[in-house]
Structure 1
Amino acid sequence: MSRQEHLQETGGQLSHSGRVRSAHAWLVALICALATLHASTAAAVPAHADTLTHPRIEAARSDWQSDSPPSAGWVPVSLPDDWSSRWPEFDGVVWYRLSWQQADVAHPAALMLDYLNMAGAIYLNGSLLMRDRHLLEPLTRAWNAPHYQVLSPPLLREGTNTLLIRVSGLSQYQPGLGNVSIGDPDTLRRSYETEYWLRHDLQLSSLAVTATLGCFFFALWLMRRQEAVYGWFSLMSLAWWWVALNQVATSPWPFASTDGWERANSIALIIYSAAFTMFSIRFCERRLPRIETVLWLLVAVGTIVMLATPHSHMGMTRAALAVAQACNFFATCFAFLYVAWRHGRTDHRILSICIAIFLIAGVHDLLTFLGILNDNRYYSALTSQLQMIGMALVLAWNFVANLRRIERFNEELNITVDAARAELANTLHREHELEVANVRLNERLNLAHDLHDGLGGTLVSSIATLEHAPHGIPSGRFLSILKELRDDLRIIIDTASNQRPGESPLADQIGPLRHRLTSLLESHGIECRWSIAGLDRCYLPPSKSIDVMRILQEALTNVFKHSRASQVEIDLHSDERELALAVRDNGIGFDPAALQQHAGTGMRSMQARAQRLGGTLRIRSAAGLTALDMQVARAETEPLLR
């Protein structure tokens, strides 16, 4: 074996032995705590130093309706007493008789009962001292409340005094009488106040804490359904509230009998145990579908069994279910303690301490319930508030931690958003600058196209006229040429300075251009045929009007310059569907493919203008026919048609 393997094996053995020692330490601590609780409970029985001893304590059975003790059937007993071990299956009334000698009645004495189960009445020397409200079903639940009474003349006599205690109980619920003390009033008063605080006041505060936490986390779960741990905690808290209510409830209401109350209490314990397991699983961020399904099937079975159990088997059934729930509870506790200390999460370890304390109390209460411990005190209801508060604090801790993570995320998100906003502002600023530059460039390009299509065409036609007859042109013709150039320049200026819809229809704007172009073409032997319709109802902005005119002007200029045509037809009309322009000549034509590869400024200008109008421009050419067609859909011109 290599040194490394030896070290690994030795380390594994040490780790295993460490876990064993840790488990033994937990077991020893649990046993010591249980022994301490039991010792304190046992010491509480003879806690009254000045208590009188009872040389003779007897008990006798009677029927439910009996208002006086029987004359026979008395047997000696010791307190605390559970008569179901002596008289199994006996439901009814048992009288307890205590006698003692009082030497001096000038110094009053006091009486204290730790408990009686379930309801009863107390008589001293034939006089009634105390009586519960219901001595028949539904029985008053006085089983967990101590009783205190000052004894003074004429109730207390010199010599022999007899105390009779009538107890009404059911054999399935540990009927009997607790410790009875007779002694100094001040001493017993202090003992009574301690017992009452322990058995009643502290139980009420525990109920208040449990109910408050249960309702709070139930509301929290309703608002955040995805946080299942809150829902299981609230169900666990409310179920335990009902279980703990058993310690202070004085009647079986809303049930008609003690059996009904005990059934509901046992079912609540079953639900509590299952909810505690579910809470522990979810708190550890686990999901165990099969185990959870089996768990709730057992809850359903236990509930059905509890509801179907007759009175004669209630004690055995409750004990069996209590043991089963205790096993589930203890297994969950030990599993949680193992996970908490194995993985080292701080919140798990804090909660494990609270669970360990409650676990010790649960072991004590289970042994008391089963009669293994001769005691009547139950500590689970007292330590449960520590467990509930611990769980609530841990949940609140996690909740606050989540809120802090959300706040940090929001802060980081705000920083990111601010940075993105600043970057977006810079980007928009750059885009704005680019748009301004593009607008300026487009304006320059449009101006160049307008100069080319307007002044350029007029200059071309004028130059051609001068070249054709340089000496035969009268002076009036020169003036006409200059006026044409002025008109084209005015159109360009008006278009650049005014973007509002025109005040005149398209027909009025086309008219002068039509006259000039017709004169130019016919002077060079090209016959013009015009077909114009619907333009008197077409109103366009100046920029769109000039686009239409420049397309028409550039098309006819191309006919004049390149086509060698003798005839040209122009069709321009506007209707409910479209604005359409068609120019056809009978010239020599050209190659459209070559035109696409080597398009000149004029052709590019026409394409750009057609796109601005939202229309389509098509050019077809062959020998003897060249056709230019432009259509602008009604959707583009409808707001301007009247």
Structure 2
Amino acid sequence: MPAHADTLTHLRIEAARSDWQADSPPSAGWIPVSLPDDWSSRWPEFDGVVWYRLSWQQADVTHPVALMLDYLNMAGAIYLNGSLLVRDRQLVEPLTRAWNEPRYRVLSPPLLREGANTLLVRVSGLSQYQPGLGNVSIGDPDTLERLYETDYWLRHDLQLSSLAVTATLGCFFFALWLMRQQEVVYGWFSLMSLTWWWVALNQLVTSPWPFASTDAWESANSIALITYSAAFTMFCVRFCERRLPRLETVLWVLVAVGTAAMLATPHSHMSATRAVLAIAQACSFFTTCLVFLYFAWRHGRTDHRILSICIAIFLAAGVHDLLTFLGILDDNRYYTALTSQLQMIGMALVLAWNFVANLRRIERFNEELNTTVDAARAELANTLHREHELEVANVRLNERLNLAHDLHDGLGGTLVSSIATLEHAPHGIPSGRFLSILKELRDDLRIIIDTASNQALGESSLADQIGPLRHRLTSLLESHGIECRWLIAGLDQCYLPASKSIDVMRILQEALTNVFRHSRASQVEIDLRSDERELALAVRDNGIGFDPAAIQQHPGTGMRSMQARARRLGGTLRIRSADGVTVLDMEVARTETEGHR
């Protein structure tokens, strides 16, 4: 018996088939039917137009009367006593998708007549999509208006808000996933939301655009549904922090097979193919829901259990809609699009909860990291302070060592030569010679002071700095019968830091002092050259020579000092002695910190 029976006053309901282009009902072929009616069970494989005729007696037209249709599937037109009340835009393929739209009209004279009245409903439908007419109510306008507003709210307004929520959440989490692609659960949630948005869009859209046929619309809807189911499974798996590679591969292979099947299925088998895919999708969806519920309450966290409640509600709505889709339930309402709001919001809130929890963990980690960094910074500062103190102490020690070496190589050599002179003729040295010795000591001390205080690069060339030393050493050697020959090239263009200049002069001074003291030579040749690539020093004498190996094993203070200075300069110091010729040479590569003009 039709719903709202207390408001119905019609006496007879009949139906008759017609063709697509018919603008008026047939004159014959009418058979009695009851509402709601699905003509595919009566006329299998019939695609076209069916006219429904409702006749009743109206005793009084002074009281208002209203008409309400729950739905008609797929598109149609309504006539009262031959006058058109409402007509959908597309009554031939592609059909207007008015299957979920309730209709309400107030009937009044002159359309409503006292006595016999006839309501004709022209329905254009396809046998594959449950064509027919829903419940029709004629009665009190206030009662039917309340029923219509409730039905419209369920079928349209709630569906519209569900679409808005689903699209907003899908786009939001899609953007979030683009920014943090390692959070794959956001990506699966956005895919699930956007595919479900397309599925739910079927509840509201009445235009066939952008498709050219009802079959194309239904194929797209079925593909979106199986894709949604697969994305839902992937979301649940990732949300539980699991990976099932083989199962996931099989799942997406089935989605691809189902998509290909829907695209290749002809119209005559569309209903069967959609039913198979709907059952397969439902099995996958229900299995995922049940497994998730078991996992959430057996092994899951609090957020898993909260989400499981939303999924349980959606699961109940899914069972109802599957039975409705398969025609097992005599209903035209689908509730998954409504309960999906609860599920989507629940999922989004759980994801947001986890996101905030992760942010709080990051904030705590940052606080701990800042504390650790502050402690490390303080420890590093103490360490640097201690290292600075050690470095200062080392610098002071190095300065003392350098000063000791300078005194040894400079004043020491002069003192040694002066002592040797006094030892040769202690009573035969004129007083002027003592004054000369003191001036040499003064000049050597001046070299030490000047080179130590001259820190700026390029204040004087190496030739300027080595000139006084050359004069003194030449005088000293020649006064003892040793002929000096100097070969100097490029020193006028050589500018060294003060520390390097004094190292070069001390090596030269120590080498010539050794010639004076130990070689018994009659000739010595000093070759000092500089160019853009290197600085080279060679000291050759014709003395008695020595064993270089013995010197290397047991070097004296002077030899150690020369080797240390050569290392500081970044050069190599070599000594060769054979056949009455002793050669000391050193080569130093030039660097960018040294000038050559």
Structure 1 length-normalised TM:
0.88
- SS across alignment from 2:583: strand
Distance 1:483 1:542 in 2: 23
The amino acid across from 2:595 in the alignment is L
- SS across alignment from 2:333: coil
User: Cα distance 1:175–1:526, how it changes in 2: closer, same or farther (>3 A)?
Assistant: same
Q: Aligned pair 1:81/2:37, yes or no? A: yes
What is the CA-CA distance between 1:453 and the residue it aligns to? 1.3
- SS across alignment from 1:104: coil
What is the CA-CA distance between 1:503 and the residue it aligns to? 4.9
CA contact (8 A) 1:502 1:542 kept: no
Distance 2:62 2:477 in 1: 150
CA contact (8 A) 2:9 2:139 kept: no
Distance 1:292 1:243 in 2: 22
What is the CA-CA distance between 1:575 and the residue it aligns to? 4.1
Distance 2:225 2:496 in 1: 87
What is the CA-CA distance between 1:541 and the residue it aligns to? 4.0
CA contact (8 A) 1:121 1:131 kept: yes
What is the CA-CA distance between 1:580 and the residue it aligns to? 2.2
CA contact (8 A) 2:14 2:31 kept: yes
- Structure 2 counterparts to residues 31-180 of structure 1, below 5 A: 46-47=3-4, 50-180=6-136
Distance 2:458 2:210 in 1: 90
- The equivalent of 1:640 in structure 2 is 595
- The equivalent of 2:545 in structure 1 is 589
- SS across alignment from 1:302: helix
What is the CA-CA distance between 1:131 and the residue it aligns to? 1.8
Q: Aligned pair 1:400/2:345, yes or no? A: no
Q: Aligned pair 1:548/2:539, yes or no? A: no
Distance 1:322 1:504 in 2: 96
Distance 1:192 1:226 in 2: 48
Which blocks of at least 5 consecutive residues in structure 1 are unaligned?
1-41
- The equivalent of 2:418 in structure 1 is 462
User: Cα distance 1:380–1:577, how it changes in 2: closer, same or farther (>3 A)?
Assistant: closer
Distance 2:216 2:30 in 1: 32
What is the CA-CA distance between 1:508 and the residue it aligns to? 4.2
- SS across alignment from 1:55: strand
Q: Aligned pair 1:390/2:350, yes or no? A: no
- Structure 2 counterparts to residues 151-230 of structure 1, below 5 A: 151-230=107-186
- The equivalent of 1:277 in structure 2 is 233
CA contact (8 A) 2:53 2:119 kept: yes
- The equivalent of 2:371 in structure 1 is 415
Q: Aligned pair 1:626/2:582, yes or no? A: yes
- Structure 2 counterparts to residues 335-374 of structure 1, below 5 A: 335-374=291-330
What is the CA-CA distance between 1:359 and the residue it aligns to? 0.8
Distance 1:576 1:129 in 2: 105
What is the CA-CA distance between 1:611 and the residue it aligns to? 2.3
Distance 2:284 2:489 in 1: 97
What is the CA-CA distance between 1:176 and the residue it aligns to? 1.0
Range that drifts further, 458-467 or 65-74: 65-74
- The equivalent of 1:557 in structure 2 is 513
Distance 1:265 1:619 in 2: 95
CA contact (8 A) 1:590 1:623 kept: no
What is the CA-CA distance between 1:546 and the residue it aligns to? 2.7
- The equivalent of 2:263 in structure 1 is 307
- The equivalent of 1:261 in structure 2 is 217
CA contact (8 A) 2:156 2:204 kept: yes
User: Cα distance 1:374–1:510, how it changes in 2: closer, same or farther (>3 A)?
Assistant: closer
What is the CA-CA distance between 1:500 and the residue it aligns to? 2.5
CA contact (8 A) 1:120 1:166 kept: yes
Distance 2:89 2:410 in 1: 117
CA contact (8 A) 2:170 2:193 kept: yes
Distance 1:189 1:577 in 2: 104
Range that drifts further, 450-459 or 429-438: 429-438
What is the CA-CA distance between 1:548 and the residue it aligns to? 2.2
The amino acid across from 2:70 in the alignment is D
RMSD of aligned alpha carbons: 2.2
The amino acid across from 1:628 in the alignment is L
Question: Which string of whole-angstrom CA distances, capped at 9 and with x for unpartnered residues, describes residues 585-640 of structure 1?
Answer: 34443443443343332222212222233222112345744321122224479x43
The amino acid across from 1:581 in the alignment is L
User: Cα distance 1:201–1:460, how it changes in 2: closer, same or farther (>3 A)?
Assistant: same
- The equivalent of 2:407 in structure 1 is 451
- SS across alignment from 1:438: helix
Range that drifts further, 209-218 or 537-546: 537-546
What is the CA-CA distance between 1:377 and the residue it aligns to? 0.7
- The equivalent of 1:376 in structure 2 is 332
Distance 1:636 1:480 in 2: 41
Question: Which string of whole-angstrom CA distances, capped at 9 and with x for unpartnered residues, describes residues 323-375 of structure 1?
Answer: 11111111111121122122121111111111111111111111111111111
CA contact (8 A) 2:73 2:124 kept: yes
Q: Aligned pair 1:237/2:228, yes or no? A: no
Distance 1:538 1:139 in 2: 98
What is the CA-CA distance between 1:576 and the residue it aligns to? 4.9
Distance 2:34 2:313 in 1: 33
- SS across alignment from 2:540: strand
Range that drifts further, 67-76 or 197-206: 67-76
Question: Which string of whole-angstrom CA distances, capped at 9 and with x for unpartnered residues, describes residues 557-586 of structure 1?
Answer: 222223344443333333454322222334
Distance 2:312 2:255 in 1: 24
What is the CA-CA distance between 1:383 and the residue it aligns to? 0.7
Distance 1:573 1:103 in 2: 134
- The equivalent of 2:395 in structure 1 is 439
What is the CA-CA distance between 1:173 and the residue it aligns to? 1.0
**Runs of 4+ residues deviating >6 angstroms:** none
Question: Which string of whole-angstrom CA distances, capped at 9 and with x for unpartnered residues, describes residues 263-298 of structure 1?
Answer: 111111121122212222222222222222222222
What is the CA-CA distance between 1:146 and the residue it aligns to? 0.9
Distance 1:576 1:76 in 2: 116
Distance 2:55 2:459 in 1: 127
Q: Aligned pair 1:252/2:205, yes or no? A: no
User: Cα distance 1:382–1:547, how it changes in 2: closer, same or farther (>3 A)?
Assistant: same
The amino acid across from 1:317 in the alignment is T
User: Cα distance 1:172–1:572, how it changes in 2: closer, same or farther (>3 A)?
Assistant: closer
Equivalent pairs, count: 597
CA contact (8 A) 1:587 1:623 kept: no
